[in-house]
Amino acid sequence: MPVITCIEDLKRLHRRRTPRMFYDYAESGSWTEQTFRDNSTDFEKIRLRQRVAVDMAGRSTAGTMIGQDVAMPVALAPVGMTGMQRADGEIKAARAAEKFGVPFTLSTMSICSIEDVAAHTEKPFWFQVYTLKDDDFMKRLFARAKAANCSALVITVDLQVMGQRHKDIKNGLSAPPKLTLASMLDLATKIGWGLEMLGTRRRFFGNIVGHARGVSDPSSLSTWIAEAFDPSLDWDRIREFRSWWDGPVILKGILDAEDARRAAEVGADAIVVSNHGGRQLDGALSSIRVLPSILDAVGDRIEVHLDSGIRTGQDVLKALAMGAKATYVGRAFVNGLGAMGEAGVTRALEVIHRELDTSMALCGERDVADLGRHNLLVPRDFEGDWA
Ligand code: GLV
């Protein structure tokens, strides 16, 4: 068992053990990757305020997200094709999350289906919704999530069209991988991955292949999005979705105060301040930079969560201290999954938890709920003066 001390260790193993097209899929941003990079470098600009001689016994990272108990305010974000990073990947990640006590969010573009994940887990998970043009499919999707006892819907609102990630095109990303000379040479060095994949029947987009119509290449994520996704999604349609679901609804992909107000008006329970991990609009600001303006607009009316750029427990601490109620990790748990399967996701969560807990202690705090701007040193021009 390799010694894992940080998410970077898992990332190195992920890269070594997983076919290149899937590793690259997870680790890419769109176009120049400026926003993808800013998501991390903006977290680095914020520093922590050390305090001493404060009683640090009996610390707690526990809290709630949309009224549900969590061991720490860190949910697993919806990540497409997680079941290609490792065989049965969504089931493995969901199991690790439920044992750890944090929410798992299943993507519409997952490999394991909603029913499959429900059959292999004990606790309710969250389901992320992408909007396809096929209305019957959408109604059935909501009904399937309800039948699977999903305890929240996460509606992604920033991907009616897909941001271009160069490597996915160059690698010919597909699920399962198409056999070309380049992919076969790569797969020859990923034998463990291949053997596990041969042992599962879950190798296609489990929520949509066989359920949705009208796609010329059902193995390609970009073809699904270009041909089947509904580019006309608007606030009326989101309001309609809200009325179809009688449980909590989270709107993911808000990056603007005006959109945050609209999200509060349509009756969402929470928003995720997110630029989709820098995978959609390259050139947009980092999530952590826009967070203060969104909190000013809606912080007293709706729960405000944050994703994009969270790689460590210190990033979690910074986001919470800046005012987010909770955070999400995508790549960090996928690194764990690609490195070591379910045990790797557990390890990723343990690493983040320890980093959060230790940093909290050294900042003189015993409870995540008490974190605030007083724990941070934030450059005066951090948010920027944009015209
Ligand atoms: C899908 O959500 C993606 O970012 O690839």
| 117 pLDDT above the threshold of 90 | yes
Ligand 1 atom closest to Cα of 165? 5
Q: Does position 11 have pLDDT exceeding 90, yes or no?
A: yes
**pLDDT tens profile 161-193:** 999 999 999 999 999 999 999 999 999 999 999
**Amino acid identity at 235:** W
pLDDT number for residue 107:
98
Burial class (CB in 10 A: 0-12, 13-18, 19+), 135: exposed
Question: Please, which pLDDT band fits residue 331 given cuts at 50, 70 and 90?
Answer: very high
C-beta 331 within 6 A of ligand 1: no
Ligand 1 mean position, distance from CA 298 (Å): 26
Q: How many of the other CB atoms lie within 10 Å of CB of 179?
A: 9
pLDDT in tens, 94-105: 999 999 999 999
**145-172: average pLDDT:** 97
The answer to whether the CB of 279 is under 6 A from ligand 1 is: yes
Q: Is the pLDDT of residue 213 over 90?
A: no
Which active-site residues does the annotation give? 276
Nearest-atom number in ligand 1 for the CA of 225 is 1
Cβ(80) to ligand 1 under 6 A?
Answer: yes
What rounded mean pLDDT belongs to the chain?
Answer: 97
Q: What does the pLDDT read at residue 151?
A: 98
Helices (H), the chain: 7-17, 20-27, 34-45, 82-85, 89-100, 114-119, 135-147, 166-171, 181-187, 191-198, 221-228, 235-244, 257-265, 287-298, 313-321, 331-362
Ligand 1: does its nearest atom lie under 6 Å from the Cβ of 165? no
pLDDT of residue 42 exceeding 90:
yes
Residue 336 in contact with ligand 1 by CB distance below 6 A: no
Dist. CA 46–CA 319, nearest whole Å: 10
**What's the pLDDT band for 214 if we cut at 50, 70, 90?**
confident
Tell me how far the alpha carbon of residue 245 lies from the centroid of ligand 1, in angstroms.
23
pLDDT of 274-312, one tens digit each? 999 999 999 999 999 999 999 999 999 999 999 999 999
What pLDDT does residue 343 have? 98
**Residue owning the nearest CA to atom 4 of ligand 1:** 279
Enclosing H/E stretch for 74: strand 74-76
d(CA 346, CA 303): 26
| The pLDDT of residue 30 is above 90 | yes
Whether 344 is in the pocket of ligand 1, judged by its Cβ within 6 Å, is: no
Q: Count CB atoms within 10 A of the CB of residue 157.
A: 24
Residue identifier of the C-alpha nearest atom 2 of ligand 1? 80
Q: Which residues pair with 239 in a beta bridge?
A: none
Q: Reduced to 3 states, what is the DSSP secondary structure of residue 96?
A: helix
pLDDT at 317: 98
Residue from 82, 279, 307, 334 to probe ligand 1 pocket by mutation (most atoms less than 8 Å from CB): 279
Q: How confident is the model at residue 17 (pLDDT cuts 50, 70, 90)?
A: very high
Q: Is 167 exposed, middle or buried (0-12, 13-18, 19+ CB in 10 A)?
A: middle
Q: Mean pLDDT over residues 342-354, rounded? A: 98
